[in-house]
Structure 1
């Protein structure tokens, strides 16, 4: 357990930012052209799809130094990076999808985000679910609470904004740890001990983890964290494992601190921007989405989850609740009507 205040760029607070410009980088013309050349080369080999990139690669060698610097910012820097200038008005969604997937593949392996096997998810409200598909928050318009995903790096690229709402919210879990250490240090012990975790029905052969999943954990002196954002994941009715009063108090205080205006930063990801975050150091959420009547103008984001190697950030294996992503490798034949 880390028992000293962590002083590091990843321990940021909203007061550290004059605006999101602080953690934003504008893509240069040369960088955008590099993505265009990679698309052309990919198209010459076969389909411009995630599977095509897996088979033939996505050649961004000309900007490899930039890509490595972005990776280092996510790995050992602030852990949050907003890349601006993806040409969403000049390319079809399929091409922007390939750009995001191709860039993410330079850092690790994009993994499945649901039982549908989507390695590149479309965050957009849908009116109809597929047979057997469970309503997921990223297919709805409701407000989402702060939570972690199941990966090392999260990427969110905006194709189209909502008419109103849909603001992104981020909190540094390093700062949350610092605040709890300062104000209620006795609550860190249950958060480090962790909780048995219900796998939301997406791992039928082992629906509950046989081990505790820590909220905070330390490996080689490095703090990592994970909080799924909903008590149902650790509810005794789902896990079969009781929670103490101290457990409940620790979780409630963790959420209170994370949601406080002192630590939670709210901003809009605009069209052409892609917000990448270290999922082992950040919580994220969004405000309620208010779309207009035109279905074709609904808020539309692309989401990627990336698993990196252990050098990205040393972390305990228990954080791999689903090993690698959620669900199966792919269900390409399934599409929303």
Structure 2
């Protein structure tokens, strides 16, 4: 893959579709919530009983097809792919369902929107986001520290809360397309470097024969009139270190402007995921972060995570898909 395939012309007009939202227009947590009704919850309960004799990973998309959930799945899919890119599903509570069933419910929802990707060398397709004593690669999702704004490796990200922390662990989401609009308005000169992008050096690549990607991943890119994003600044800076070169000053300024804009309260969607709630994000139109949290002896923050590959998804440059493909290939070899 050549860098030229991924470097596109800067989109110089304001992005006006619904994915370019701000804190007011999206309406807070309530504005992104799809509340499951009684019929939908009853259908989920029946699906659980019908599939209980089978392992979670053995279940297919067809196992979660039922007329009562058609409207739900269609509405959520449209919102993720063609709307704001953010949906929070509520109604699956510890009072209504056993927390032991959350993983199966989450898997069923994920299969309706994409194919779950491998997330680790153990070939896990459901990740566990929690503070682990054993964290040899210092992975952020296995820590209790604050995680800055970033993009994950696949098109749709799913998180389901099993248990929140006694304190901290707030979720932050920003429309990266709204950030693009603000940069176009206030600092248009930084967009060229952000569209150029930079190679990545991921945690998985550090133990491979190719620790740095041989292609650049742009922060912003376009296919026709469709703008998309991907940004993990730590991987870009690690790549420069691995290559023994100075990080480009214009990209450094662009990233600082990007993250300063992400932190603006007028753009930021902030909330706490409650047990049983499922959050689905379009990774190509949003970036997300998490505040530091503290566990206690009796309460430990625990989220489930899905990375979903979407067939015929958003039109994007090759690098945005290659990052996920590379990640999964490295995990499967590990």
User: Per residue, is there more helix in 1 or in 2?
Assistant: 2
Deviations 1:208-254 (A, max 9, x none): 11111100010131111000142555541124554322121111111
Who is 1:186 aligned against? 189
CA distance in 2 between partners of 1:207 and 1:93 (Å): 39
Deviation at 1:200, TM superposition (A): 2.3
Deviation at 1:315, TM superposition (A): 0.6
CA distance in 2 between partners of 1:32 and 1:90 (Å): 9
- 1:145 corresponds, among 144, 148, 173, to 148
Deviations 1:132-165 (A, max 9, x none): x523111111111010000111111111111011
8 Å CA contact retained: 2:120, 2:332 = no
CA distance in 1 between partners of 2:332 and 2:239 (Å): 28
Residue 330 to residue 163, structure 1, CA distance change in 2 (3 Å): farther
Residues 1:247 and 2:251 aligned together: yes
Residue 90 to residue 285, structure 1, CA distance change in 2 (3 Å): same
CA distance in 2 between partners of 1:221 and 1:154 (Å): 24
CA distance in 2 between partners of 1:86 and 1:128 (Å): 31
> Across the two proteins, how many residue pairs are aligned to each other?
321
Residues 1:220 and 2:259 aligned together: no
Who is 1:106 aligned against? 112
CA distance in 1 between partners of 2:200 and 2:125 (Å): 23
Who is 2:32 aligned against? 23
TM-score by length of 2: 0.89
Who is 1:298 aligned against? 300
Q: 2:325 aligns to what SS in structure 1?
A: coil
Q: 1:179 aligns to what SS in structure 2?
A: helix
8 Å CA contact retained: 2:153, 2:307 = yes
8 Å CA contact retained: 1:216, 1:225 = yes
Who is 1:335 aligned against? none
Residue 106 to residue 324, structure 1, CA distance change in 2 (3 Å): farther
CA distance in 2 between partners of 1:24 and 1:201 (Å): 34
Residues 1:58 and 2:67 aligned together: no
CA distance in 1 between partners of 2:27 and 2:36 (Å): 21
Who is 1:160 aligned against? 163
Residues 1:170 and 2:170 aligned together: no
Who is 2:317 aligned against? 316
Deviation at 1:66, TM superposition (A): 2.0
8 Å CA contact retained: 2:93, 2:277 = no
CA distance in 1 between partners of 2:243 and 2:39 (Å): 52
Range with bigger deviation, 247-256 or 89-98? 89-98
Residues 1:34 and 2:43 aligned together: yes
Residues 1:210 and 2:214 aligned together: yes
Who is 1:334 aligned against? none
1:262-277 mapped onto 2 (5 Å cutoff): 262-277=266-281
Residue 29 to residue 325, structure 1, CA distance change in 2 (3 Å): farther
Unaligned runs of 5+ in 1: 332-337
CA distance in 2 between partners of 1:26 and 1:13 (Å): 22
Please, what is the CA RMSD of the aligned residues? 2.1
